[in-house]
Structure 1
Amino acid sequence: MALISLENTITLALSVKDRHASAAWYGEKLGFEALYHADEAGWSELATKTAGVTLGLGEQAEAAPGNCVPVFGIADIDAARKRLETADVKFDGETIVVEGMVKTATFFDPDGNALMLAQDLTGQG
């Protein structure tokens, strides 16, 4: 039995130099549709052609090509993090909160690959 219960969503997060230019490229080349650009967070999301899968573009001064971080949707990130930490899963720093938008926590698999949990806060008041 799994330690935590993930939702039916996944975001593949990529590091890019210019989110808007990258979003246009993915739209033109692959037919992905921009869902939103959160300029204050340096983040954009695009709908892929696969239900429940989005592409996230995180703007960095120096992009890290080949770096893809799967981001798994979760209803209660605090409870999930606590359960994973109890099972000796290592996290990268504290949970990050972008008020009214999202809570994220990065963790690592046994080989050091980064994975992320994300709790949607847009529907909370």
Structure 2
Amino acid sequence: MALVDVDKTITIALSVKDRHASAAWYQKTLGFEAMYHADEAGWSELQTNTDGVNLGLGEHTEPVPGNCVPVFGVADLDGARGRMEAADIKFDGPTDVVEGMVKTATFYDPDGNALMLAQDLTGA
């Protein structure tokens, strides 16, 4: 049995300089549809052409090309994190919460690759 029960969604998170310009590029180039721009959180999200797979754009002043973090949706982030930490899986710090939007926590696989858990707080 798995430590974490991930849902059927995944967000591929990329660091970009200008979320709005990048979103427009992905729309024009690949036909992705903008879902929302959360300017207060520095985050934009697009629906890809694959069901359950979104592209997240996090705004950074100095993005690192090739920086890609898979984000797995979970219903109970706190419970999942507790089970993972009990199994000695390392996290990069406390859980981040954007009230009414999302709760996230970054963790690492055995090779040091960053992955993230996310719990939707919108009630959708």
Please, what TM-score do these two structures have when normalized by structure 2?
0.99
Unaligned runs of 5+ in 2: none
**Structure 2 residue aligned with 1:80:** 80
Q: Tell me if 1:103 matches 2:114.
A: no
The percent of aligned pairs where both chains have the same amino acid is 77
Distance in 1 separating the partners of 2:10 and 2:26: 17
Distance in 2 separating the partners of 1:96 and 1:2: 23
Unaligned runs of 5+ in 1: none
Moved over 4 A (4+): none
Please, what TM-score do these two structures have when normalized by structure 1?
0.98
Distance in 2 separating the partners of 1:90 and 1:109: 8
Q: Number of paired residues?
A: 124
Moved more, 1-10 or 35-44: 1-10
**C-alpha displacement at 1:4, in angstroms?**
1.2
Distance in 2 separating the partners of 1:69 and 1:97: 18
Distance in 1 separating the partners of 2:16 and 2:4: 30
